[in-house]
Amino acid sequence: MKAAVYHGIGDVRIEEVAEPAPGPGEVLVRVALNGICGTDLHEIDDGPRAVPVAPHPLTGVQAPVILGHEAIGRVAGAGAGVDDLDEGTLVAIEPLVVCGRCRWCRSGATHLCERLAFHGLSTGGGGLAELTVVHRSMLHVVPPGIPEVAAALTEPLSVAHHAVARSGAGPDSTAVVYGAGPIGIGLFLTLRRLGARALVVEPSPGRRAVVAALGAEALDPGAGPVDVQVRDVLGGGADISFDAAGARVTLASAVSTTRKGGTVVLVASSRQPIELLVGPILAAELTLVSSWCYRGDFTPVLEGLAQGAYPVDGWVDTLPLDRLHDALDLLRRGEAVKLLLDPRS
């Protein structure tokens, strides 16, 4: 079968590899679509970070690995002990591989596992392939009626859903989202689903147009001080600000646009050190909250997809797996918002 194999920085190849077979408790999935994101791009351009260069303590895997941690597909087989999935069932893969024994796993916070691995980064065979194998516990059955393209957004939307849950937002909350990439769009749509009012700050005219078409009030940071714009629109600071860009300027802006006693949520991981201005945070008694991955978020996201809460028109495009490098170039140039790769074509 064909697969995208990561060998090292700048070295990802579409190769022919052996087909995997499911072991006990595992399921063979014929991949339908796999999203690529900033994590993949950074692994390829300036990594490795999540791809292990020495055997991973849980999986024993090291590069080269098959990439792909945002996969959906259809059940193509199962190992011993798995008898509750029919062949052809559409499933979304929650890519966390955990030890099940550490204090975090025992408490239910499996996303904080001390030996956490990611399918498609620190396991042998991810979703950028025709077939992949995962443990049954990692699969979520996609409700009927959800198109494959929408189902393929379950993983990144779960990142956004978890961040909103961590923020404490409610129906009467006001929020500012920094960044209109896939996570920023997911934050906006999740907040809207909750009933909160959310502004989105985005410097790219193209991405501002995309999120505005989805119904967001989109602000241009080049049009004037962002804190002034936010206060003019909301009549004061926001209850919550989300940094989904991971830059010094966006974190500083998030602090400045949050009302006293409000919350700043860190969603994006910066690749460079960021100076944190503690004075304004202390003076306003702001709460800083970080959000990592997801914990029980796939189910409510799939419910939201079934209800139409997460529209995909206008910001999601699909390319065949063979065009992986074209897709990466489009993302590098900012000419696409979300790209899904199809290994079947």
Active site residue ranges: 39, 42
Check if the beta carbon of residue 242 is closer than 8 Å to that of residue 254.
yes
- The 3-state DSSP class for residue 11 equals strand
For residue 304, give Cα distances in angstroms to 143, 195, 271, 297, 298: 10, 13, 31, 11, 10
Side-chain half-sphere CA neighbours of 283 within 13 A = 6
Tell me if 328 sits within 8 A of 41, measured CB to CB.
Answer: yes
Decide: helix, strand or coil at residue 74: strand
How far apart, in whole angstroms, are the C-alpha atoms of residue 145 and residue 11? 38
How far is residue 125's CA from residue 300's CA, in Å, rounded to a whole number?
Answer: 27
Q: Which two tokens stand for residue 281?
A: 């945070």
Considering only CA atoms, give the Rg of the chain: 20
Rounded distance between C-alpha atoms, residue 154 and residue 302, angstroms = 7
How far apart (Å, rounded) are the C-alpha atoms in residues 148 and 86? 17
For residues 210 and 229, give the distance between their C-alpha atoms in angstroms, rounded to a whole number. 20
325 CB contacts (<8 Å, ≥6 apart)?
12
Give the span between the Cα atoms of 125 and 104, in whole angstroms: 25
Comparing C-alpha atoms, which of 236, 287, 225, 235 is closest to residue 259?
236
Nearest Cα neighbor of 239 from 293, 289, 193 is: 289
Tokens standing for residue 158: 């779960």
